[in-house]
């Protein structure tokens, strides 16, 4: 999966199309991510010690990783992600790079 935690992404499809947000959590086995401020669901909760009032709580829900694109840190526009090998301190390392600008992400 090309998207990592704390990446800035743009939602490309669905009800939240056009919204930008930070990736809060990644579920690689399910190919899903949770993006800050995107795809809210309403959860009915019982009263508990943490939430003594109970009631309806809104929280972010996972969306499929194919519905988002990484925002290039250099240009600020959505971009596809490529992988290339770069000489590191001790050995060759795989890095992600922006296909639009060519810069390492």
The answer to whether the beta carbons of residues 35 and 22 sit under 8 Å apart is yes
Integer Cα distance of 61 and 32 in angstroms: 10
- Ordered by where they begin, the domains of the chain are 1-70 (2.30.30.30), 72-105 (no CATH)
Average pLDDT of the chain, as a whole number: 94
Whole-model pTM: value is: 0.85
The answer to whether the beta carbons of residues 102 and 71 sit under 8 Å apart is no
pLDDT, tens only, 27-51:
999 999 999 999 999 999 999 998 8
DSSP string spanning 19-59? Answer: -EEEEEEEETTTTEEEETTSSEEEEEE---SSSTT-EEEEE
Task: Provide the pLDDT for residue 1.
Answer: 85
| Angle at CA of residue 95, ends 93 and 99, nearest 5° | 145
Residue 21 C-beta-side C-alpha neighbours within 13 Å: 22
pLDDT more than 70, % of the chain: 100
Q: How confident is the model at residue 56 (pLDDT cuts 50, 70, 90)?
A: very high
Task: Provide the pLDDT for residue 47.
Answer: 94
């Amino acid at each position: 999966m090309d998207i990592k935690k704390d990446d800035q992404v743009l939602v490309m499809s669905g009800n939240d199309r056009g919204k930008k947000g930070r990736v809060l959590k990644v579920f690689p086995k399910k190919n899903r991510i949770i993006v800050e401020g995107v795809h809210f669901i309403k959860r009915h909760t019982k009263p508990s010690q943490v939430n003594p009032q109970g009631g309806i709580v809104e929280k972010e829900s996972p969306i499929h990783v194919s519905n988002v694109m990484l925002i290039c840190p250099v240009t600020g526009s959505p971009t596809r992600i490529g992988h290339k090998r770069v000489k590191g301190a001790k050995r060759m390392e795989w890095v992600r790079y922006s296909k639009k600008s060519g810069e390492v992400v």
